[in-house]
Amino acid sequence: MVVYVLSKSGKKLMPTRRFGKVRKLLKTGKARVISRRPFAIQLLYDTTEYVQDITVGIDPGKTIGFAIINKQAGKVIQKGEIRLRDDISRLLRQRAEYRRSRRYRKTRYRKPRFLNRRRPENWLPPSVRARLEHTVEWIKRLTMFLPENAQVVVEIAKFDIQKIQNPNISGEEYQRGKLYGYENVKQYLIARENGRCQLCGKGYDGNGWHIHHIIPRSEGGSDRPDNLALLHKKCHEKLHKNFTRYSKKLKRPAVYKELAYLNMYRKLLINKLKEFFGDKVIFTYGAKTVIQRHNLGLPRAYYNNALAMTGIKSIQDISELTVIRQVRKKKRSLHEATPRKGRKTPNREAKRNNKNTKEVILKDGRKWSLWDKVKVGGQVGFISGFTGNSYAYVQDMEGDYIRMPGKTYKQVSLKQAKLIKRNNNWIEIKKAA
């Protein structure tokens, strides 16, 4: 938790963690609340408007890592991660499949459409588009109450494609020694191969990746990615023991399928952020971030990447981590395709929306909605579904069910629950890092 502060004249000041002081200011009428989420107050008395340098690091992706730091003081103000939904394209594909199959049955269906498929310029698959827009919105939101001079650092790619294609490119960015080049190429290969070994086809085994030159350097093979293969340590050793046999298996890989969309996503992300932040936003690469994170001695995590890319040299860390997760508030399926829990056959008799319950009102008048943050049985969680008239399923942030003490079933009585907070599409917790 962090409290954002505005001066009497409306200038954005340094955020604070001195909650005692904030409480006192609010109580004595020396400040007023101007926003609840995020929590911001405005001072009602004259103060100096001095601010220090703030840098915000952003590691975009399915999970967005973020860190807000005070570079001068070497202090972390806030850090955390935002987990975006990644089930939507699967659900859309599933919906299309259900519609298709309904057309062959005597049941309500939606006519197929095929004349409305022209793609506008800058088209992105909806999943990529959504990720782009959420990323931009969250960066704006995280910075909305920060001092005007705050800088934003965004990692736009794991590797620098320019550097890959032209390893001899010069400039300050590239004079970072062997490790930078190595990390850069490695990240690229991992992306190209979808994290799979090119010899055995299996995923990461925990022993580090080896980069193999398909045409050996000694025979004039280049460092270009076309000539590089991503291998397990074990497989690499195997290959060199029986070179003639195994080296035939390595062929030039196909072009990374998603690359075009990723490039478009990157281009749009850069444009949108530049438009909003002007020269206060700078862009960096994952290969560089990894080295910065190693230098700080931080373990691998999205928020640590975000922390590292701010360029902070030493840190007084906070132990608190903010975790935000995107959830779905609506379910609009027309029929039950697979039996829901506890049934042997799908329920095809129920009214079409009956099972898409979004809220429940108890006899005592208390209303409960999906994803309400609740305390039940001494634990805190979020309502993920309803069952019966007064029972719900409650999950923690990781999606594990919260049960009543000593019980094996997942149903939790809402009569015994206490509402902490209502939520929209985003649920949030603070936890120890």
Q: Are 284 and 59 in contact (CB under 8 A)?
A: no
Residue number with the shortest CB distance to Zn ion? 197
Residues with Cβ within 8 Å of residue 31, at least 6 apart in sequence: 22, 25, 41, 42, 43, 44
Q: How far is the CB of 182 from Zn ion (least distance, A)?
A: 14
For Zn ion, the closer of residues 219 and 400 by Cβ is: 219
For Zn ion, the closer of residues 41 and 197 by Cβ is: 197
What residues are paired with 368 via a beta bridge?
360
Q: CA-CA distance, 372 to 359, in Å (whole number)? A: 10
User: Which residue type occupies 404?
Assistant: M
Q: How far is the CB of 178 from Zn ion (least distance, A)?
A: 17
Residues with Cβ within 8 Å of residue 153, at least 6 apart in sequence: 55, 56, 57, 58, 281, 282, 283, 284, 309, 310, 311
Q: How far is the CB of 210 from Zn ion (least distance, A)?
A: 7
Q: How far is the CB of 233 from Zn ion (least distance, A)?
A: 9
Q: CA-CA distance, 379 to 403, in Å (whole number)? A: 9
For Zn ion, the closer of residues 164 and 199 by Cβ is: 199
Number of CB atoms found within 10 A of residue 230's CB = 27
For Zn ion, the closer of residues 153 and 231 by Cβ is: 231
Number of CB atoms found within 10 A of residue 349's CB = 7
Q: CA-CA distance, 14 to 16, in Å (whole number)? A: 6
Task: Give 13: exposed, middle or buried? Use CB within 10 Å, 0-12, 13-18, 19+.
Answer: buried
**Binding footprint of Zn ion on the chain (CB under 5 A):** 197, 199-200, 212, 232, 235
- The b-or-e profile of 267-284 (16+ CB within 10 A means b, else e) is ebbeebbeeebeeebebb
For Zn ion, the closer of residues 198 and 395 by Cβ is: 198
Structure tokens at 153: 């650092």
Half-sphere exposure of 177 (CA within 13 A, CB side): 2
Task: Give 162: exposed, middle or buried? Use CB within 10 Å, 0-12, 13-18, 19+.
Answer: exposed
**The sheet that has 391-395: what strands, in order across it?**
412-413, 391-395, 379-387, 373-376, 418-421
Structure tokens at 90: 């699967």
Q: How far is the CB of 212 from Zn ion (least distance, A)?
A: 4
For Zn ion, the closer of residues 82 and 197 by Cβ is: 197
Q: How far is the CB of 305 from Zn ion (least distance, A)?
A: 26
For Zn ion, the closer of residues 215 and 259 by Cβ is: 215
Bond into 125 cis (ω within 30): no
Query: CA gyration radius for the chain?
Result: 26
For Zn ion, the closer of residues 232 and 373 by Cβ is: 232
For Zn ion, the closer of residues 49 and 205 by Cβ is: 205
Q: How far is the CB of 159 from Zn ion (least distance, A)?
A: 21
Q: How far is the CB of 185 from Zn ion (least distance, A)?
A: 14
For Zn ion, the closer of residues 75 and 233 by Cβ is: 233
Sign of CA dihedral 401, 403, 407, 410: negative
Q: How far is the CB of 203 from Zn ion (least distance, A)?
A: 9
Q: How far is the CB of 199 from Zn ion (least distance, A)?
A: 5
Q: How far is the CB of 309 from Zn ion (least distance, A)?
A: 31
Q: CA-CA distance, 254 to 20, in Å (whole number)? A: 59
For Zn ion, the closer of residues 216 and 339 by Cβ is: 216
Instruction: Give all strands (DSSP E) within 46-163, no chain letters.
Output: 54-59, 63-70, 75-83, 151-157
